[in-house]
Amino acid sequence: MKKEIVKIDVNSSIKDACNIYKDKKIGCLFVIENEDVIGIVTERDIIERTICLDRNPDATKVREIMSPDVKTVDANDNINHAISILKDNKIKKLAVTEKDELVGIITVTDIAYTRPDIRRFIQ
């Protein structure tokens, strides 16, 4: 997993999110409200829910396009459990928690690079 977690406030604009993506070179942001993670916003969310719908990125808030159901895996679970969650939910990014606190993220790409022997299970 990657331990760098990048967050954005729920009331930030999509333009703010895009600037963070550009600066950090990442694929998703965890959306926070009052320091609690309440969603996730991905590059795909921005493309499909903002650009494709001709929404103004300066006026559209992260809250409007985020996915509120953040899937998680415990940091102590084995990789096969993480793969199952990714596959069952047809997602590419999974929040990693420890004692109900966000501690990292694991992606399909991370798994493919570290475990090429199981690539066929995650496609």
| CATH number assigned to the domain comprising residue 111 | 3.10.580.10
Shared-domain flag, residues 55 and 107: no
- What pLDDT does 120 receive? 61
Segment 12-60, tens digit of pLDDT: 999 999 999 999 999 899 999 998 999 999 999 999 999 999 999 999 9
Position 116 confidence tier, pLDDT thresholds 50, 70, 90:
confident
Shared-domain flag, residues 16 and 33: yes
pLDDT value at 121 more than 60: no
Tell the residue number behind the tokens 């679970």, with chain if given: 77
Shared-domain flag, residues 82 and 119: yes
Distance from the first to the final alpha carbon of the chain: 19
Rounded to whole angstroms, the Cα distance separating 19 from 105 reads 20
Shared-domain flag, residues 64 and 113: no
Shared-domain flag, residues 17 and 43: yes
- What pLDDT does 111 receive? 87
- The whole model's pTM is what? 0.86
Residue ranges in 1-123 assigned as alpha helix (H): 14-24, 43-46, 62-65, 79-89, 108-114
Shared-domain flag, residues 6 and 64: yes
- The domain containing residue 3 runs over which residues? 1-69
- Provide the pairing of β-strand 28-33 with 7-9: parallel
Segment 58-115, tens digit of pLDDT: 999 999 999 999 999 999 999 889 999 999 999 999 999 999 899 999 998 888 888 7
